[in-house]
Structure 1
Amino acid sequence: MLAFGLSVATGIGGVSAGQSHGIAMHGAPALPADFTHMPYANPDAPKGGRLVQGVLGTFDSLNPLIVRGLAVQQIRGFVIESLMARGNDEAFTLYGLLAKTVETDDTRSYVTFRLDPKARFSDGRPVTAEDVLFSWALLRDKGRPNHRQYYSKVAKAEALDPLTVRFDFGGVQDRELPLILGLMPVLPRHAIDVATFEETSMTAPIGSGPYRVSAVKPGASVTLTRNPDYWGRDLPVNSGLWNFNEIRLDFYREANGQFEAFKRGLYDFRVETEPLRWHDGYDFPAARSGEVIRDTIKTGMPQPSEFLVFNTRRPVFSDVRVRQALTLLFDFEWINRNYFFGLYGRSAGYFAGSELSAYGRAADQRERELLKPFASQIPADILEGSYRLPVTDGSGRDRATLRSALNLLSQAGYDLDGTVLRQHTTRAPLSFEILVTTRDQERIALAFTRDLKRAGIEASVRAVDGVQFDQRRLGFDFDMIQNRYDQSLSPGNEQFFYWGSEAADHQGTRNYMGAKDPAIDAMIAAMLEARDHRAFVSSVRALDRTLMSGFYTIPLFNVQEQWIARWNRIERPEATALTGYLPETWWQRTRVPTQVIQ
């Protein structure tokens, strides 16, 4: 059993900031302590009905907190809650959920959470400080790599009383840690077998969230049923959320079959990612009659971006000049016009369309100071903001970019031998494999191989199913893959997980590119130490410049809007969150005037 202390947490080397209803990464929470609901939720939304969501892929586990298996990600949030909940209208602010209050000091050397005494797991057992400490230790030792990395920074964790937990950081300079711990999923100590936690399982987990798993058809569907005794249903942070009595996740193995099922009304909404389909695929009776509604949503977030990722662990991609040359050979203009109807944009950076992006911006004085120790590896045009991705003539046979690419490849030790590009000394051809898992990925990869062949490069395309693709991606067993990076307006510790040097050697992280660059590590550290917004923005832009300078990826396109299609039996609030669409705020119409097409 845990020993409970009698003292009140006062911080280490600082003055207590007092208990608060929320915590922001920079500044103060936007909502006051007496707020009644989130601005993007409808507190009068009716309860009841069912939401059916079509999911592309499959699953073999109900535990999203471990590396093994393909888990149902919706378990996190719908079934398993965290100490605090995100405010989706702010860059990174948390409000009380399981934890009624949060406390830290000015230096954020510790954080204390006071649990809501009403908090209960779905089996009726109370949520206690013991459960919080158990969850922290379990995920630190056996959870996903990001949990292990974050939670291991805690120097000391203790229960001050049955409802109060304090984490001390022992001098670690990381202002995001209190928020990271606020998002920690809380698991029931009495219902977890530590010995088998890391194994995939179809056993319905016990959580404290608004839903319980009520039915599972392996690989096909999962049904979540709203818990009528949900402890947090009256919390302001939940007002207008979790409105459906039942949520069913139906899994589809193939994208076209998934879309056909939507047209027949077999599930309620879809997030469209295919421009061709969005452009002319919704000319079917239900869409023409208004039974299917199409929403175009502009968010305030960095635009999600697709990239072809070089695995720099492979010798063929170890030279930055080779990576830069292959970037030149990708004909975005031809692909955007012929495949995407010109609906996509393109940026070389990783925070496109936001104030955090360095692409097209000159570095400010603070950025230059941060980058000064690494000045030799930051090209002048990237520092000055004048670097631009190549713009071809859109013909698919642009000669200018081909000449530039061949010049870089020659500097890297490759020359054309007839129609084959070979290494000077070994005479080995420059060749590699592009691993894909969807038809859309395959189409882009095949177009790219055409461009590469003009430079004498032989690239093959291997299509695998989703399970194998994920296994090979997590194990870094590929030459090149397509990957989407989604960023927030408050990037933090997860950036180490994406491209930190330590993550490059740990399977299961998202450092697919294998980046090991002290400059990247230093910029992430500076970002985490930033105390005000201006310093934070400068450090993120400096990080963006180091990533661009490494040419670790080939930028494909940016998704500039969210495309949502829904049957009119589903309604959503008029206000949209900064982060975009949120199905947890939707509800079912009380009267549906038309019949579902079968």
Structure 2
Amino acid sequence: MLLARIRKTCLVLTCAAMALVPIAAAAEEQTWHHAIGTLEPPKLPADFKALPYVNTKAPKQGELKLADEGTYDNFNPLVDKGNPASGTGLLFDTLLTSSEDEIGVRYGLLAEALTWPEDRSSVTFRLRPEAKWADGQPVTPDDVVFSFESAKANSNLLANYYRHVTSAEKTGEREVTFRFDEKNNKELPAIVGEFPILPKHWYAAKDAKGNPRDVSKGSLEPPMGSGPYRIASFQAGATIRYELREDYWGKDLPINIGQNNFRVISYTYFADSDVEFEAFRAGNIDYRQENSSSRWATRYDFDAVKDGRIKREALPNAFRARGIMQAYVPNLRRDQFKDARVREALNYAYDFEDLNKNLAYGGLKRVDSFFWGTDLASSGLPQGKELEILDSLKDKVPARVFTEPYTNPVNGDPQKVRDNLRKAIALFKEAGWELKGNRMVNVKTGQPMRFEILLNNPSMERTVLPYVASLKKIGIDASIRTVDSSQYVNRVRAFDFDMIFGVWAQTMDPGNDQLVYWGSAAASQPGSMNYAGIADPAVDDLIRRIIQAPTREDQVAAVHALDRVLLANHFVIPMFYSGESKIAYWAKLAHPEPLPEYGIGFPALWWAKGAE
């Protein structure tokens, strides 16, 4: 839930400070705001009636039938344990909520207002007096403090994300204040409004069986929330059914008008995407986002598509606000991947062009930046402020960042493949490996280059097999291991893998999230998104510069430098992405026209044309 919010902002204009929209002066030198922006001023005034992109007359009716793969065993959103159930964000509210047509702007949800000092060393939220839990009790500052402390104690991911938030305390009847251990971190006052708020009194009570509840553990007891939906029924690990709450306290808030339009949202879990696709074809699932370019090109030719009962759209909206890196991620905690020349060699063996032509029907683009698809991506040679930043770190970064723009090897025909495999072998030799017979071995130890690519979906194997075959040509024994989703999640959280697929979706306002992705502290923190195990002083320095950047120009320069250093170290083998949300849905569903600039608003903005 939180990570979806981490990845959801975008760039429009430069702003040297947090954008302010005052709504009332409460005390001397204290101004309260109904919204906060990290890059641009909020567009909407304090008395706005609804978000501009919603259908304010959308009917509240019908059931939305969705799918997920694998299984689930946990409804608690604040722990790094088990497999969280899909849709639990429907149960809980947050202090703030994002707009899908603005850049880094958040409006009050549980909070009616917020205030912060000029140095941004803290932020105070004032809760809405009408905010209620499902049992009718008010949402209090004690609930917020309890939720924050639980998040930091029980989620390594959230603990790292909020590492600079030192405390949360009740500072008024409806006020809670977060204090930070550093000043001028422009994101902190906004991102502390992102985590789900849980009811302290509910967790202090016993469950229906008389057992004490424990917020530090995963649980399949349907939790009580303050959000628009409740869990009506579920079959553990297989299905879950959410029902719209008629008594939801926030249903008439301007920020919620035109949203939460389905009476029922249900999820069914499937073993893999092929089975899920067949369920969609049969009408048992209403909506799917297609991640296979091959399937999108070849398998949507059945009657329901031809006669218009199923609609297909390829929408760029979400990618206007998002930089993508999808890659093979070698685990740098493993000795065989510690040398950057080895990792670079692995890229020379990856034939994207052949895969795109023969498996994806030309529907993919090669990723060449950790901020791919945005103007935050580095390009050419460093100049101006970016060059100044890199010069200050010249003894800590690869020399090539000053002389060579990053480019991926180009394969696609036999001669290019042969040339690139020769380059790969040469890089291995420089790194202390040699090809003996048909095996790549370490010169000192005699150990062969052998690793396992861990997957969680059998349908991904066809994408990986050509890479395995290419690696075999240079003596590398790469194998595929496909495990169920529970095993996969647990192994990735524990960094128990040689290589995985990794996807990072960047906001256009990067900051504290970079600590979670690439920071040295996260490399040893189980459950973090630093899958590769990057622990690099220059990277840490650049992340700090991004977070502390006084202007947008400084921030962009630092991001360009970070991107360039990450690429030059060959921490990953960049793969591909399409740059569009390819969606298919039964025509009984509808969405606003136009959709918001930076998202597709699913499912919050959509509705059913007729009751089921």
TM-score (norm 2): 0.91
Q: Distance in 2 between matches of 1:117 and 1:574?
A: 34
Aligned amino acid, residue 230 of structure 1 = Y
Does 2:111 align with 1:130? no
Q: Distance in 2 between matches of 1:82 and 1:396?
A: 56
Q: Distance in 1 between matches of 2:518 and 2:163?
A: 19
Runs of 4+ in 1 over 6 A off after TM superposition: 8-11
Please list, as runs of the form range in 1=range in 2, the aligned pairs for 1:494-573 lying within 5 A after superposition. 494-573=513-592
**Range moving further from structure 2, 548-557 or 385-394:** 385-394
Aligned pair partner of 2:279 in 261, 271, 279: 261
Deviation at residue 369 of structure 1 after TM alignment:
2.3
Does 2:204 align with 1:185? no
Q: Distance in 1 between matches of 2:607 and 2:404?
A: 45
Q: Name the counterpart of 2:599.
A: 580
Deviation at residue 382 of structure 1 after TM alignment:
4.0
Does 2:101 align with 1:89? yes
Q: Distance in 1 between matches of 2:404 and 2:55?
A: 43
Q: Name the counterpart of 2:165.
A: 154
**Range moving further from structure 2, 149-158 or 403-412:** 149-158
Report SS of the residue matched to 1:398: helix
Instruction: Indicate conservation of the 8 Å contact 1:26/1:532, yes or no.
Output: no
Instruction: Indicate conservation of the 8 Å contact 2:61/2:611, yes or no.
Output: no
Q: Name the counterpart of 2:42.
A: 29
Q: Name the counterpart of 1:204.
A: 222
Please list, as runs of the form range in 1=range in 2, the aligned pairs for 1:95-494 lying within 5 A after superposition. 95-142=107-154, 144-193=155-204, 196-299=214-317, 300-358=320-378, 360-376=379-395, 378-379=397-398, 382-383=401-402, 386-395=405-414, 398-494=417-513
Q: Distance in 2 between matches of 1:166 and 1:261?
A: 48
Deviation at residue 496 of structure 1 after TM alignment:
0.9
Deviation at residue 91 of structure 1 after TM alignment:
2.6
Does 2:67 align with 1:47? no
Q: Distance in 2 between matches of 1:363 and 1:35?
A: 43
Aligned pair in 2 of structure 1 residues 384, 440: CA closer, same or farther (>3 Å)? farther
Deviations 1:520-542 (A, max 9, x none): 11111111112322222222222
Deviations 1:402-457 (A, max 9, x none): 12111111100112212222222222221111112223432222111111111111
Deviations 1:10-61 (A, max 9, x none): 79xxx54x11110011232122222222232111111111111111221011
Q: Distance in 2 between matches of 1:282 and 1:122?
A: 42
Please list, as runs of the form range in 1=range in 2, the aligned pairs for 1:61-72 lying within 5 A after superposition. 61-72=74-85
Q: Distance in 1 between matches of 2:63 and 2:591?
A: 14
**Range moving further from structure 2, 170-179 or 150-159:** 150-159
Aligned pair in 2 of structure 1 residues 10, 538: CA closer, same or farther (>3 Å)? farther
The CA RMSD measured in Å over matched residues stands at 2.0
Aligned pair in 2 of structure 1 residues 239, 366: CA closer, same or farther (>3 Å)? same
Deviation at residue 266 of structure 1 after TM alignment:
0.4
Deviation at residue 306 of structure 1 after TM alignment:
2.0
Q: Distance in 2 between matches of 1:468 and 1:156?
A: 35
Aligned amino acid, residue 450 of structure 2 = S
Q: Distance in 1 between matches of 2:446 and 2:597?
A: 54
Q: Distance in 2 between matches of 1:393 and 1:141?
A: 49
Instruction: Indicate conservation of the 8 Å contact 1:275/1:341, yes or no.
Output: yes
Equivalences, count: 578
Deviation at residue 384 of structure 1 after TM alignment:
5.6
TM-score (norm 1): 0.93
Q: Distance in 2 between matches of 1:579 and 1:139?
A: 28
Report SS of the residue matched to 2:386: helix
Aligned pair in 2 of structure 1 residues 344, 161: CA closer, same or farther (>3 Å)? same
Deviations 1:245-266 (A, max 9, x none): 1111111112111000000110
Q: Distance in 2 between matches of 1:205 and 1:500?
A: 33
Deviation at residue 471 of structure 1 after TM alignment:
1.1
Aligned pair in 2 of structure 1 residues 442, 404: CA closer, same or farther (>3 Å)? same
Deviation at residue 579 of structure 1 after TM alignment:
3.2
Q: Name the counterpart of 2:10.
A: none
Instruction: Indicate conservation of the 8 Å contact 1:53/1:270, yes or no.
Output: yes
Segments of structure 1 that go 5 or more residues without pairing to the other structure are 1-7, 593-598
Aligned pair in 2 of structure 1 residues 288, 547: CA closer, same or farther (>3 Å)? same
Deviation at residue 67 of structure 1 after TM alignment:
0.7
